[in-house]
Amino acid sequence: MRASEARRRLPSVDALLRSEPGRRACEVLGRPLVKLAIREVLDELRAAAAGGVDPPAADDILARAFQLASGAANGLVPVINATGVILHTGLGRAPLPKEAAEAAARAATGYADLEVERATGRRGRRTARAELLLRALTGAEAALVVNNGAAGVLLALAALAKGKQVLVSRGELIEIGGEFRIPDIMGASGAKLVEVGTTNRTRPADFRNALSPRTGAILKVHPSNYRVVGFTATPSLADLVALGRKAGVPVLYDLGSGLLHRYPGLPADEPAADEALEQGADLVIFSGDKLLGGPQAGCVLGRAELVERLRRHPIARAVRVDVMQVAALERVLAAYARDGRTELPVWRMLREPPESVHRRAAALAEALDGELEGAHVVACRSTVGGGSLPGHEIPSYGVEVRVPDPPAMAARLRMGRPSVFCRVDERGVVFDLRTVPEERLPDLARAIQYALEGDELPDEEA
């Protein structure tokens, strides 16, 4: 079929809306949503037709539009994360402790003393409680909580270095997922990036030579999703602090992952917020939903005079946290304050001994055994993810299920109920049990069985 003819054969939006299934879809999902979904699907098919692809039947077009519209109407779908990636950005990063999620729901479904002092009735600050907790936990002179880590970096650069130069080591000009790139954030803040040293080696002397009266800040960035290995050097925080003090410019440290303290069992080169402050960083910035194990948030800690400049900057208002983030973050920080970090899901998953994960893997393999042979326990490695602890892998256990077409099986699992995300290798799919809590095991087993039913084994393997 010629492309122009294929395009002509596509039904109109109105015809589809008027059809019986179209009308029913409008009743269930609302006409504006169905109409837009049909338009989107037709646009896609028109583009495909231009490339010579025959258009599908009208029912098929409506089915696709219905899927698009109902996906939007139903909203987020909870999933079982069997990838073994603990801070999976695509799956929402840190799962909250129940107590924090409930505090967020309570605060959001009613009213709360978000920005009012109950004792006086006067206007308060929404982040005052979380900031007090952060100061208590890290010894910081002052603290500020904003919407996310990227907002914290943007705000710090805009408030302290707009129109001035900011020195960054070339080896730390990172990009992390979701379009966070240091040069772009720098540009948006109005500060001018000055790259110092080379990709693999930067020395304190390089920074010394780059300092000038136009320098507004020195920025150190934790390369949170990669490692430079081999012939490398980067100035220590202490080196930068010494240079900054001498030149009278603040040293900002984008920590990324949000480790409050150094805990045993973590890589020694993972920086902790309290140590960075102790070593003289003027501001440290980190995320709430990475290793901290809380909701999305950006925590900025450091010298009171600098924090106040950030607080007064107009961007601070534009990147403030909402009531649910506040409520959840307070609960998570309070858990740290009473030394209850290990109650947090992220830390439970990070610290669980492999033998304990093995028990869940064995239970899953056994639950599957009645249905299929070849579901077996395998040793695997979990990762922290979310741009934290790059290269750090945690010994774990999973269940491997051999299937003829692993990517197709993974797709069926994603679309199943409950939806399951797993790993794929050449032989089959692997479910890492480190990120699957005990109470989800029956659901996971059921989802796997359903997905397998759609997978016909070829004769030679049957």
Ligand X SMILES: *Cc1c(COP(=O)(O)O)cnc(C)c1O
Binding of ligand X by 298 (CB under 6 A): yes
Complex with ligand X: residue 80 or 144, whichever CB lies closer: 144
Beta bridge partners, 180, equal 176
Query: Judged by CB under 6 A, how many residues of this single chain contact ligand X?
Result: 15
**Neighbouring C-alpha atoms within 13 Å toward the C-beta of 74:** 8
Complex with ligand X: residue 55 or 295, whichever CB lies closer: 295
Stretch 107-136: interaction string toward ligand X, x if CB under 6 A: ------------------------------
Nearest CA to 224 out of 325, 131, 326, 89 is that of: 89
Sheet holding 393-402, edge to edge: 375-383, 393-402, 428-432, 423-424
The CA-to-CA distance between both ends of the chain, in Å, stands at 41
Name the E strands within 267-414. Answer: 283-287, 298-302, 375-383, 393-402
Binding of ligand X by 254 (CB under 6 A): yes
d(CA 145, CA 180): 19
Complex with ligand X: residue 69 or 299, whichever CB lies closer: 299
Binding of ligand X by 435 (CB under 6 A): no
* Distance of closest approach, residue 86 Cβ to ligand X, in angstroms: 14
In this structure, are residues 154 and 219 in contact, taking their beta carbons and an 8 Å threshold? no
In this structure, are residues 243 and 208 in contact, taking their beta carbons and an 8 Å threshold? yes
Q: Using the rule CB under 6 A, which residue among 215, 224, 234, 396 binds ligand X?
A: 224
* Distance of closest approach, residue 93 Cβ to ligand X, in angstroms: 8
Binding of ligand X by 221 (CB under 6 A): yes
Q: Which stretch binds ligand X (CB under 6 A): 107-115, 126-134, 216-224, 334-342?
A: 216-224
d(CA 272, CA 386): 17
Q: Which stretch binds ligand X (CB under 6 A): 122-130, 208-216, 217-225, 418-426?
A: 217-225
Stretch 176-215: interaction string toward ligand X, x if CB under 6 A: x---x-----------------------------------
Say whether the peptide bond before residue 437 is cis (omega within 30 degrees of 0).
no
Complex with ligand X: residue 257 or 396, whichever CB lies closer: 257
Binding residues for ligand X restricted to 383-402, rule: CB under 6 A = 387
Binding of ligand X by 412 (CB under 6 A): no
Instruction: Record the tokens describing residue 100, joined without a space.
Output: 């924090």
Number of Cβ within 10 Å of residue 412's Cβ equals: 21
* Residues of the shown chain interacting with ligand X in the complex, contacts defined by CB under 6 A: 148-150, 153, 176, 180, 221-222, 224, 254, 256-257, 287, 298, 387
